[in-house]
Structure 1
Amino acid sequence: MPAVPRARLNEEATVTELHTGREAASIMLGSFLRQCREERRLNQSDLAHVIRSSISKISRLERGESPPKPRDVADLADFMGLSIEERRTIQGLLDQARNEAWYQQFSDVTPSYLRRLIALEGSAQRIMVYENQVVPGLLQIRGYARSLVQTVRDDEWEIERAVEMRMLRQRMLDQQFPRVTALIDQGVLLRPRGGSAVMRDQLEHLLLAADAQRVNIRIVRFGSGAEVAPPYALTQLDFEAEGPADLVYVERINGADYITDAAAVDKYRRDLHQLHGAAAGRNESKKLIREAIKDYYS
């Protein structure tokens, strides 16, 4: 059992309420530090003197408004007597918060709410995504991604940069974690984004990904899971028990919601797992993908 329960952000937190200009890792680091402090029944004033600063600075740090300094974070961890697991969680978030992460170079072609999701994906243990319109971003090939970007951008240079960002994002699949489960509506297989040749290559890529240990692809057949399948895409991120709060990401046309309320996350988790149960199994899903590929050879 962890010494400190998972940190929770604002119970009704959305991407708008969390101020999209802030880095997700800084916010979650501050939230985790606050949770650790409160579990030990310490006040902000108790921590202020540890880092030779003021209560207001501790407050800004816990809200994710001040850039975290490694020395300050280390001193606070020592003062609170954090466990090895808690220190590992903090170090991971600190690394993300301090790192001018690779995706920052694409800030001009990537909305802030999506950059925050990318920042969190790398520290997740499990990702479950449901897509009813397109192949999930983590599984898109370059040609398919380009066809999607071209629907919202005209400038060739911006298109290339946006596509490159999507390709670099997939590097996390080479790591041990996160494990990814992709629930894909059957209609996605029949929607030839980029034309028949591109779609054929995309589906071949899905078949290869389906054989990877860390990726589980399930096709939601027509008529299956209708009672639980949402009319929009969902992404659920699960973290280590001692880590940040699990969350659900719901993307909208011009923004996104980051849902961290425990009851709401549990509801989405139940819905996704019911949808997973209604989806075709691994072998049947690969069969459905192969059948769709045949159509793009005709």
Structure 2
Amino acid sequence: MAATPTRRKKRLGRFLRDLREAAGLRAVDAARKLKTEESTISRYENGIYKPTWAAVSVLLTLYGAGDEAEEKANALYDAASVTLPKIRLPADSPKAFRELVNTEREAERIFSIETTVIPGLLQTADYAMAVFATARETSDVDELVNIRLERQRYLEDPENIELCVCLDAALLHREVGGRKVLHDQLQRLLLLIEQPNITIHVIPFESGAYGNMSGGYQIMTFGDESDSDVVYLEHPAGGVWVENEHDVQLFQAMFEDVRTQALNPEESAEVIRAKVRSLSK
């Protein structure tokens, strides 16, 4: 299997490249010191391969890095060594969706607006089953549900990622899968908002028009200023990535406007509880 570049490995690689260039050295100089090929140094610096710590130490010495640089390199190395949960995707998965699965695991924060359905990262198995079953999916529905549940695992550790979601109030009333499925789904939301890394805002009907009412989107931010924020727009055939800085900023401004119109987390939780009580009758 080919090595896969990740943002974490790329951060380490960029840092090593910047140190090398600041020292006035070429990739071939680093390769000679490590007794390896110049192409290997290129793979390190492009985040394709993660070097051993012994190799990093040699390069730091070669580049004349001080204690501060070594400390940062150590932190970047540890981050690049984190093993992310492996998710096996169907062979016919759209490229944009594959990128979504990999990108959301490496994000530091996800900001999401949802207008039609509870976000996949928060769905119960039965709710997800109902969504996929009515979407004319060509892939095995059980497999798709399992993938969705696997993607949720990364939310379990509050240190991994923060998720902030603005939900249209209509989602609390649309009985996806039936009354019982919606009841259990809203109960799950109440459990999830107890986690310190998950925040939910309900957009009340009284807010009127807001933001991008034609569909939801996700904004993903990362733990390094060299990683630009991105936006993911999902559609029935896959999804589209928005990476242009100006366009991303428009989505970010829209999200903040919507969050201002939405209820605060405590008010949102009470609205969800009230709906759960209604569904329990």
User: How many residue pairs are counted as aligned between the two chains?
Assistant: 270
> Residue 85 of structure 1 aligns with which residue?
72
Deviates most, 110-119 or 30-39: 30-39
Specify the alignment match of 1:269 in structure 2.
Answer: 252
1:216 alignment counterpart:
199
Give the structure-2-normalised TM-score: 0.77
Q: Considering only CA atoms, is the larger Rg found in Structure 1 or Structure 2?
A: 2
Match status 1:29 vs 2:16: no
- The DSSP-based 3-state class of the residue aligned with 1:134 is coil
Give the Å deviation of 1:45.
4.3
Report the Cα offset of residue 113 of structure 1: 2.8
C-alpha distance in 1, partners of 2:176/2:202?
18
* 1:278 shift after superposition: 1.3
TM-score, length-normalised on structure 1? 0.73
**Could you tell me which residue of structure 2 aligns to residue 168 of structure 1?**
150
Q: How much identity, in percent, do the aligned residues show?
A: 23
Question: Mean alpha-carbon deviation: is it higher for 130-139 or for 68-77?
Answer: 68-77
CA displacement at 1:198 relative to structure 2 = 0.6
Q: Summarize deviations over 1:3-50 as a string: whole Å, max 9, x none.
A: xxxxxxxxxxxxxxxxxx98461x663466246524744554454444
Cα RMSD after superposing both structures: 3.4
Q: 2:235 maps to what in 1?
A: 252
Deviations 1:201-254, CA, capped at 9 Å, x for gaps: 101111222232221110112353735335332222222246744333233343
Which one is further off, 167-176 or 107-116? 107-116
Please list every run of 5 or more consecutive structure 2 residues that lacks an aligned counterpart in the other structure. Answer: none
Q: Secondary structure at the match of 1:106?
A: coil
Stretches of structure 1 lacking an aligned partner (at least 5 in a row): 1-20
Q: What amino acid sits opposite 2:158 in the alignment?
A: Q
CA contact (8 A) 2:231 2:241 kept: yes
Which residue in the other structure is 1:201 paired with? 184
Q: Partner residue of 1:179?
A: 162
CA contact (8 A) 1:121 1:127 kept: yes
SS in 1 for 2:207: coil
Cα deviation 1:161-203 (Å, max 9, x = unaligned): 2211211222222212212111111222222211111111101
Aligned to 1:133: 116
Quickly say closer, same or farther: Cα 1:252–1:93, change in 2 above 3 A.
farther
The aligned counterpart of 1:17 is none
Structure 2 match to 1:16: none
The change in CA–CA distance for 1:294 and 1:264 in structure 2 (over 3 A counts) is: same
